[in-house]
A = this chain, B = another copy of it.
Amino acid sequence: MSSPLLNELIDALRCLPGVGAKTAQRMAFHVLERDRAGASRLADRLAAAVERIGNCTRCRTFSEDAICATCASPQRDASLLCVVETPVDQLAVEQATGYRGRYFVLLGRLSPLDGMGPKELGIDLLAARLAENEVRELIIATNPTVEGEATAHLLSQVARAANVRATRLAHGVPLGGELEFIDRGTLAHAFGGRQLIEN
């Protein structure tokens, strides 16, 4: 298009995940043609979110306050601490389970080549938290990837040093999955971790 502003908008939209040149173009034309109010609102909300959403000083999740609502809530069981890699993972646990404890968000996973070491993951903050002697169980919910497993190992060492029980999410066959299509690693895990049927 000959409009520089429109080209800049199309280009800027590509910062969104999964949005390429063609989708960005469609989005730009769509909002200009049909939803300028929505676009204005989005511009507002984006600017406000970028400016005001920081990280909770206690659990490091996204929060516009110094202490997030989950950390501040007295309803939450302070003896349970679930460690996740990202705020999205926290949201996933929160939505899927009835977990009523607190969280600690690493904002990454152990990956020395990307400059993610214990310091970047806030391990010192976590160790200080465990030293408060409030936490009885550290639930390690990092992703079952190579880096996630390495991170889990590090976390279990931190827990042992603080004399706190560490647990790990169970691995196995996902619900609705079919054995035929499940990767070997998962199947081996599920087979090795088979459980007694209680009658």
A residues contacting B by CB (< 8 A) are 1-6, 8-9, 11-13, 15-18, 23, 25-33, 35-36, 38-50, 52-53, 62-64, 68-70, 86-88, 91, 107
Contact = CB atoms under 8 A, between A and B. Distances in A.
A40 B47 contact: yes
Contact of A69 (B2, B30, B43): B2
19 contacts: A2-B69, A3-B68, A5-B64, A8-B48, A9-B48, A11-B45, A12-B38, A12-B41, A15-B39, A15-B42, A16-B27, A17-B30, A25-B91, A31-B46, A32-B53, A43-B43, A43-B44, A43-B47, A43-B50
B2 A32 contact: no
A49 B1 contact: no
A16 B5 CA distance: 18
The copy count of this chain in the complex is 2
Contacts of A91: 1, 25, 29
A48 to B, nearest CB: 6
Given A16-B27, A31-B15, A43-B43, A9 B49 contact: yes
Contacts of A42: 12-13, 15-16, 43, 46
Given A5-B45, A40-B46, 14 more contacts: A1-B62, A3-B53, A3-B62, A3-B68, A4-B64, A8-B49, A9-B45, A15-B35, A15-B41, A17-B26, A29-B62, A39-B49, A39-B50, A44-B47
